[in-house]
Each structure stands twice: as structure tokens, then as C-alpha cells.
Chain A
Amino acid sequence: MPYNIALVSDYFFPQPGGIESHIYQLSTKLIDRGHKVIIITHAYEGRTGVRYLTNGLKVYHVPFLVMYRATTFPTVFSFFPIFRNIIIREQIEIVHGHASLSSLCHEAILHARTMGLRTVFTDHSLFGFADAASILTNKLLKFTLSDVDHVICVSHTCKENTVLRASLDPLMVSVIPNAVVAENFRPLSHAAYPTEFGSHPLPQHLGPHDTITIVVVSRLFYNKGTDLLVAAIPRILASHPNVRFIIAGSGPKAIDLEQMLERNVLQDRVEMLGPVRHEEVRDVMVRGHIYLHPSLTEAFGTVIVEAASCGLYVVCTQVGGIPEVLPAHMTAFAKPEEDDLVAATGKAIAALRANKVRTEKFHDQVRMMYSWTDVAERTERVYDGISGVLSEADFYGYEAADAASWSATRGRAGVQSFALIDRLKRYYGCGIWAGKLFCLCVIVDYLLFLVLEFWAPREAIDIARNWPKKRKEEPEAGDHPTPASTFRR
């Protein structure tokens, strides 16, 4: 059953990043599966109005004040009129918000519930519980997710985190991982692809004296573990003479890294590339043998999947959702400690030199593990579950007898009730003061909705024509490389 879906997030192209590409890939695959998908984001510089991307993907760039790092200023209600207009114009049935720091997404979920639509939220990041910023974000998340139909997390650690942060029923949280477009991350020489002109494949079997190149592709921030990297690189290079480093990425910690290089006179063994574009990441990765990922927190870690897909052996810290992502024969785990990282890298180098790691098989294995088609299928099942196509027993996995009993979390037929009083009940439990405040917000939102219905009646809003769809009869054979690089910048 095809749905009309709106993906809402502050983060979308032309800004580069993991969430942006997640939204794009997911929407493309959902369109391939016959759904109608639009994307609502805020206006970027040079991107305003409505745009069509490949495959008839329509993007609404809503003009909003950008506050900090592409996040719009949280004005709880000001988004409602234009949002309602878009939703009615595009006949949207499901609103799917992304990223917990995006205020656009939170507002969209609130308004969509007021308008009586199904909502899904995808969480891409991990948050602690201790610092003030996290407490504020968690309260906001609790507000939005008090009345949401389903939540998707990218890893099991992320699910635990989100369940705790927003006080959710674990059954209404699904784990659907990210994926990679394996064709965009292929090793230098692979049987399935034509060999690129002029490229010399790396020797498959490394001798004891061949040079091993370690690649780091990461934004150089504190939470990406650059301090660990700065501490570990001199020791790794000191103990392994035939090792080189390639570091791509920029950030505030780049200065530390450069100072370390100058202090230890390692410029000829460490190559710093500076910022690279996403489509160039593969070309950097295939120059190396080992991918080093010293991050301190990571919900999923798409980049290590990309590295493994390029045929690199992955050395990474064991934090967040990283241990769930790759099988043990592709990775060497380290504790987030300098000594352990050095030791794990040393073991990885030794294993490569001893030819114990079959890196040439990694690409096909990763291709079997992660694909966006699979992600889209699993997301579609979530849509089925919340729209009542799947029965509650099927979706939530317990007996219908239990389902008959009333629950504040779920109404009848496995879907949440839209009645205002039921919604208020859910919001009221958010806290002694916050609950009342949230209820007030919801009531104001509802009044705003009534005013809008009167002021701009539904009949006066044009219905947008759908993008003409080529009926593809054959099922998807697999991922075909998306022409993402044509517009990604």
C-alpha cells in the first residue's frame, strides 16, 4: 500500500553529512517502492523554494532563521501555517522526522499529530544525561515523543538511549541501521567492476617490509577522539617503521595534530589532506590498508562500514553502537585509551602482514549486510504497523487479548488515538511543571489549527500533481548506484 510520506529535518543537502545522505537514500528507495515522498527542510543559502531532485523527489526549502549549525530557531508554532499548507497540498499521510537536534522535525511531529497524521521519528545520535544541554534536549525530545506513533533508531545502543531519554515503550522503538551504497565504496580492484584506468591495485599480500597505510577520515573534533589520535600516532609510527598515515578532515583539533607532527618531525610519514568531499572519501580510503576510527561516541558509525566496503581492515574504539556494526573479522576493537589503541593497531598491522585478514572479501560481505533497499523495506513495515495495515499483534508481537486492554501508549487497532484529551494525557506525564507547559503548548497548537482551518480552508488549497511515475514491474535487483554526486557539493 503506497503512502504519501513527508520526511522532515533541518539537515538536508546541500549541507553534507550522514543524516542528509540517510534522508536522501531512504526517500529514493521509498520512491522506488512506489511511495510518494517529499522532503521538508529549511532554506539554505542558494536553495530556496521547491526543488525536484532525481527520481521526482520534491524538496521544500522553508524559509526559517538558522540559529546554530544549520538548526532552525525553535519557534513552536510559527511553522504550522506553511507546514499545514504543504501537508494538505501534497496529501501527506505520514510525517517522518529525523534527528533529535532538529527543531523543525520536532515542530513538524507536533503539528502533524494535531492535524491527525501518523508520525515517525528517527534518532541518529546518542545523548548523555548529565550535562545541561543534554537535559534540555532530552526534555524537548520527551515532549515531542510523548505523542509519536513510532520511533526508529539506528543501533541498539541508540534504542536504549532513546527509550531512556524519552521514556518510551521499547516496543514502539525499532532498530533500523544506516546503510551504505556499496557501489560508491568499492575497492580499487574488484571482480564485479571494471578496473579503473591508471590505477594500480595494491598488492594483495603484504610482505613484512611493505608499507602499510593507515587512513583516518574524520572531522577533527574532541568527540571524534582526535586527542587519542594525536597521542597514538607517534607511538604507532615509532614502533612500526613501514607505516604511513593519511588523515582527511578538518576541525578545531587539526592544530593539535599539526603541532604533534612538527614536534615529532613526522611530516613525511603523515599526510594531512584537509577537508575532503563525501564523494572523494572513497578515493582516499582505497589508498590505505587500515582504517583507524578513534571516536569517543558514535550512534552507528557509517564511516567504518564505508571503510570496510572499500576493503580496509578497521581499527576502532569500542564505544556506542560501533560494536554492533561490523563482524569481528573485519574489525580490531580497542578501548578508548591510548595504550590500547596503539596495541590494537599493532595487532592489526601484524595480522595484515601475516595475511590473516581477507580484506578482498570485505566488499561483497558488506554489500550483503547493508543496503538502502533493505532499510526502505524495514521502514515500510513501520509505516504499515502505524497505519494499521499490520495488525497490532503482528507489529508489536503480543497477543490480541493484551491488546484489548486500554493503554495510554496505544489506542485501539495498534495506533495512537488522535483525540485531544488522549494526547493531553500523554503530554501531562512529562513532568510536574513540564507536563502542564506541554499541555498548554498542545492546546494552543490545536486552537491554532482551528483558526487555520477557518482562515485558510482546506478547499482553497491546491492539490499538487504527482510526479509522473514510471511503473517498474520488476522488483529491485539490488542497489543501483545513485547519482547523488551530481548534486552533492
Chain B
Amino acid sequence: MVPTQAPLTSSSATTTATLAPLTGSTTLSTLTAHPRSVATDRTLLAPEDAIYQQSPPRKPPSAVNRLQNEKALCMTSGMNGDIAVPKRGRHKSRTGSGSRRRKGSWKRLLWVKQSYPDNYTDQETFLEHLQRNPRLQPYDFWPLVADSTVIVQHVCSVIIFIVCFVGIFQDRVSPVAVVGWGSFATFLGWLLWDWWLGQEDSPPRHHPPPGLASPPYTSTSAAAVSSPNLPIHSPTPIRHSHSASASSIHSTASQPAPSSPRLAPNLPSPSTSQPLSHRTSLRLSTAKSALLIYFTLLGLSPILKSLTRSTSSDSIWAMSFLLFTINIFFFDYGTPAPSSSGKTANKNIPASLSTNAALMASTVLASRLPSTGQVFSLTLFSIEVFGLFPVFRRYAKQRSWRGQVALTSLLVVGTGGGVGLILGRGGDGEGILDFPWKSGLMGVFIGVVGTGLAMGGCSWWLIGLQKYKNEIHGPWDPARPIIRRHWEDY
């Protein structure tokens, strides 16, 4: 029985150790690993292999060399005659068994009649261009844990929203309190944002060139949502992506049908407000759009309230669960690379899908609530949580690491406490140790410990799984054509 099933061992992996060196797995292991090791040792890749395995990507020699190289018989191999030399040298230095090669013997060509049998396997050149895990990056533990805070934050904010809904639904929390505190926090966030913007503006900056059409309109449409402005002066693409998600919020919130961001109304172009300073005009437009959202929601709330009256509650719970799952799985957790503007266009779609899913979930949840005020509060709160808070979180993550940690802990504590309060029945007078916040404290404790364990455990697990990564590339892969311009651009 062959114990492992790694694809690089031949089916005779257990027995080849006694065979001649020309058998399958030993050939493979001399090519990919140390010479005398048994093949089963090296079937799994450790992350440190990335240091040795990182060979440069396969670069075929240019056609210049090929045209000049009229005498084909001088070539040692049909392809990559020039790149083979350093690789072979590296093989020699690693294996120390390069002397088996007969001089000028076998050629990797089909048109030459050779004196070797057809099944001859040249140990030097066989699988020479094989690349294993060419783009492997070994993970480290603490950066991985730090990166997982993004996911924790998002999951926590979703849970907090659900807790608030349950609280409102069971009449345990006043909807005005929820939306009041939420709006207060949003306002604080916006103040912070504005302050950060001021810090960024203090060094003199230029407006983005007019060729970059997307930053002005995306930022203004995001500003139209409500409080936090998008920084117009720093054209890093990270803002493009959340601004797009924010703009889709706007369209879903203000219009019944989701529309593309271009259709968002009242786009105040940045150039119209020349007399005022730029930031003042931004603040004004933010306030204007916040008011607009506010009144639109106020008008829509009675309609939303009766939206799903004919649907049973069970369907609503199932549906909102599904939608929140979509929200969590399709949320744009990534930190975009600072230079690629093309990628952000692709990232808009999942982000907007996730945001729309969350808003739809909150809409159907809100439609379960009995009074217009509750519906209005919950919908406004959902816009704050799912539309604006992710934008703020992402920006805050870039600004300060300490703030990120503080925000994460705050969210985890809040989530734990909230869930504990919802599930538990503290303060009902049972037992000696009973006090009103008992279940809340229990929730905080369990939440903090559980989250910490999950973050650490998942990171550790992912690092452990990385040694199973076995990606094989070689000349048989279909080439990726590099085309300078797409033909539509002609």
C-alpha cells in the first residue's frame, strides 16, 4: 500500500528505493529534491522550499537569438538553450551528481535521428522546466492574525446588527436609542475622517488629473450617501472600491431598483464649488445628502413596513440568514495593491453584491417590525452599519494599526455582550451570583476567548495547510498571450 498519494510519486513509490536510479520516483526526486532521499520524504512541500524553488519564470529566448542560431545541431535542447545553463548549474551544486551526463549526447529534439531508444530518459533535462509553487509566499503567524481582524470586524458588525434587530423586535431596546447611538457613532467617525482628511490635506496636494474620471464621481456619490467623505485627494484605488459599494448603497437606499453608480443623482462636481474651499463644499454636500437619505427613508418606511406582510416569518429568517451569509462571504476583505487601477474595477462587483445583500436582508428584517418608526430606525441603522462602517473601517485600517486593534476589541466585546444579553436572562433574581449584566459579561468573556482562539487557530491551521500546496507549472501549460492593446481600443 502506498501511504501517500502525492502526485509526484509514481505508483511504485515504496519500492523504487532499491531500483536502478533510472526509475520514476528517484528521477523525480533527484530533479526536485536532494539526491538520495526516499521519494516519500519529499512528496510534501514545506514552506521553506519556496526559498529554493523560486526559480525565475520561464522566459523563452527571444527570436533574435533563434534567428541567428542557424546551426541547430549546436543547441543542447530545443527550447531555452540559454536559460538552461544557470538552472543546470544549480542542479549540480545541489545534487552533486551532474557527472552522469554523457557529453553532447542526447538532444531533446524530435527531428534528429538519435541512437538512443525512444523511452530513454535524460536525467539532466527531464522535467527541467518543471516549476513547483512558483508564487508561493510562506505565511507568518502574527501578520496572518492581524489580517484576520478584518474578517472578525465584519462578522462582528453583522452580528451586532442582528442583535440590535432582535432587541428591537422583542421590544427590549428602543429603536430610537439604537439609531441615535448609531448616528452618533457615525458622526464621530465622520469627524475623525474629516480630521484625517485635514491631516492629509495639510501638505499641498494636487487635484487628480482630469483624465482620471472615476475618483471625482465615485467620491461624490459616496459623499452623497451621508456623513463620511471619501478622500478625493489621494487617488489610491482602495477608495474606488469602497466608494463603489457605498454608491450602490445609495442607489438601493434611495431608489427602489438597484442601479449603476452613474445614475446616482445630485452629483456635485468638485469644480462647481470654487468660491468655498474644497473641504467645506464637501462637507456641505455630505450634509445635504445625509438629509436627503434621511427624508427618503422616512418616506419609504411605511412602504417597507408592509413589504413582506404576506410572507411568513420563517421565510424571512431563512432569507435574511442566506443574505447575511452572502454578505459575509462576498465582502471585499482585501487590501488592494496600491498601483493596480484595473483590479479595482473587478472588485466592485463582489463588494456591491455583498452590500446589496446586506441591505436587502435588513430591509426584509425591518419589514417584520410593527411600527414605522422602528422600520425607519432599523433601515437607517443598516445603512450606517453596512454602507458606511466598512468604508470607515478600511480607511481606519490604513491610518493606524492601534486604532484597528482597538476597534476590533471594541467590536468583539460589543458582540459578545450583545449576544449574551439577547440569549441570556440576567437579572431575573435567580441564584446568589445573579446581577443584571451577568449573561452579558458571560457573553463578553466567551466572545473574547472564542474569537482569540478562532483567530489564532485558523491562522495556525492555514500555515499548517500550506505545506500541502503543490502547484505544478511547466511548458505544457497553455501560454498566456500578452496582448498590448485589446482590439476594441483601436
Chain A residues positioned under 8 Å from B276 (CB to CB): none
Interface of chain B residues 8 through 26 with chain A (CB within 8 A) = 8-16, 18-20, 22-24
Question: Which B residues touch A370, using CB under 8 A?
Answer: 111
In chain A, residues 90-131, which have Cβ atoms closer than 8 Å to a Cβ of chain B? 126-130
- Give the distance to chain B from A482, nearest Cβ to Cβ, in Å: 22
B11 touches A158 (CB 8 A): no
Determine whether the beta carbon of A326 is less than 8 Å from that of B5.
Answer: no
Question: Could you tell me the distance between the alpha carbons of A344 and B63 in the complex, rounded to whole angstroms?
Answer: 6
Inter-subunit contact B475/A168 (CB<8 Å): no
> CB of B479 within 8 A of chain A?
yes
Closest-CB distance, A220 to chain B (whole angstroms): 14
Q: CB distance A333 to B487 under 8 Å?
A: no
Contact status A156-B11, CB under 8 Å: no
The answer to whether B485 and A231 touch across the interface, beta carbons within 8 angstroms, is yes
Q: Would A335 and B121 count as touching, CB distance under 8 A? A: no
From DSSP, what is the main secondary structure of chain B's interface residues?
loop
- Minimum CB–CB distance for A464 against chain B, Å: 32
Bound: A31/B64 CA distance, A: 45
Q: Which residues of A contact B67 (CB under 8 A)?
A: 332, 344, 347-348, 351
A323 to B121, CA, bound (A): 18
Contact with A along B62-86 (1 / 0, CB 8 A): 1110110111100100110000000
Please give the distance in Å from A379's CB to the nearest CB on chain B. Answer: 9
| Contact in complex: B5, A432 (CB < 8 Å) | yes
Report the stretch among B112-120, B149-157, B333-341 that lies at the interface: B112-120
Closest to A335 in B: B60
Q: Does the CB pair A228–B483 fall under 8 Å? A: yes
Check A171 against B121 for contact (C-beta < 8 Å): yes
Q: Which of A176, A336, A397, A434 contacts B479 (CB 8 A)?
A: A336
| Cα–Cα, bound, A432→B2 (Å) | 9
Q: Is the interface of A mostly helix, strand, loop or mixed?
A: mixed
A9 close to B (CB within 8 Å): no
Asked if B5 and A338 make an inter-chain contact with CB atoms under 8 angstroms apart, the answer reads: no
Knowing A157-B475, A326-B111, A407-B15, the reply to whether A170 touches B118 (Cβ < 8 A) is no
Q: Which residue of B lies closest to A308 (CB)?
A: B111
List, in ascending order, chain B residues with CB within 8 A of A129's CB: 7, 471-473
**Bound: A194/B473 CA distance, A:** 49
Known A-B contacts A230-B487, A406-B15, A409-B11; the reply to A174 vs B481 at CB < 8 A is no
CB of A264 within 8 A of CB of B490, answer yes
On chain A, the residues within 8 Å of B121 by CB distance are 170-171, 173
One of B22, B110, B475, B476 near A175 (C-beta < 8 A): B110
B490's partner among A161, A167, A168, A234 (CB-CB below 8 A) is: A234
Q: How many residues of B contact A (CB 8 A)?
A: 64
Closest-by-CB residue of B relative to A350 is B67
B residues 40-93 near A (Cβ < 8 Å) are 59-64, 66-67, 69-72, 75, 78-79
Contacts of A259 in B (CB 8 A): 487
The residue from B13, B19, B117 contacting A405, defined by CB atoms under 8 A apart: B19
Q: Report the separation of the CA atoms of residues A395 and B7 in the bound assembly, to the nearest whole angstrom.
A: 26
Q: Is A320 an interface residue (CB 8 A)?
A: yes
Q: Considering the chains assembled together, what is the distance between the CA atoms of A87 and B305 in angstroms?
A: 75
Asked if residues B118 and A163 are in contact (CB atoms below 8 Å), the reply is no
Q: Least Cβ distance of A471 to chain B in Å?
A: 29
Q: How far is the CA of A319 from the CA of B24 in the complex (A)?
A: 25
Query: Is B103 part of the contact surface with A, judged by Cβ < 8 Å?
Result: no
Q: A160-B126, A169-B24, A263-B487 are in contact. Are A324 and B63 (CB under 8 A)?
A: no
Which residues on A sit within 8 Å (CB–CB) of B63?
A: 332-335, 340, 343-344, 347
Closest to A300 in B: B110
Q: Is A146 an interface residue (CB 8 A)?
A: yes
Q: Check B172 for interface membership: any CB of A closer than 8 A.
A: no
Q: Which of A40-48, A62-70, A422-430 contacts B (4 or more CB under 8 A)?
A: A422-430
Within 8 Å by CB of A263, from B59, B62, B477, B490, lies: B490
List of A residues within 8 angstroms of B102 by Cβ: none
Interface core residue of A168, A317, A318, A430 (most chain B CB under 10 Å): A318
> Of B27, B64, B111, which is within 8 A of A347 by CB?
B64
A and B contact pairs by CB, cutoff 8 A, 11 listed: A160-B475, A171-B119, A171-B121, A174-B119, A263-B490, A329-B71, A329-B72, A338-B481, A397-B120, A431-B5, A435-B2
Given contacts A157-B474, A263-B490, 12 further A-B contacts (CB under 8 A): A150-B119, A158-B476, A169-B10, A228-B481, A324-B78, A332-B63, A338-B483, A381-B117, A402-B20, A406-B15, A407-B15, A407-B16
Across the A-B interface, the 4 shortest Cβ-Cβ residue pairs: A323-B79, A174-B118, A429-B2, A169-B24
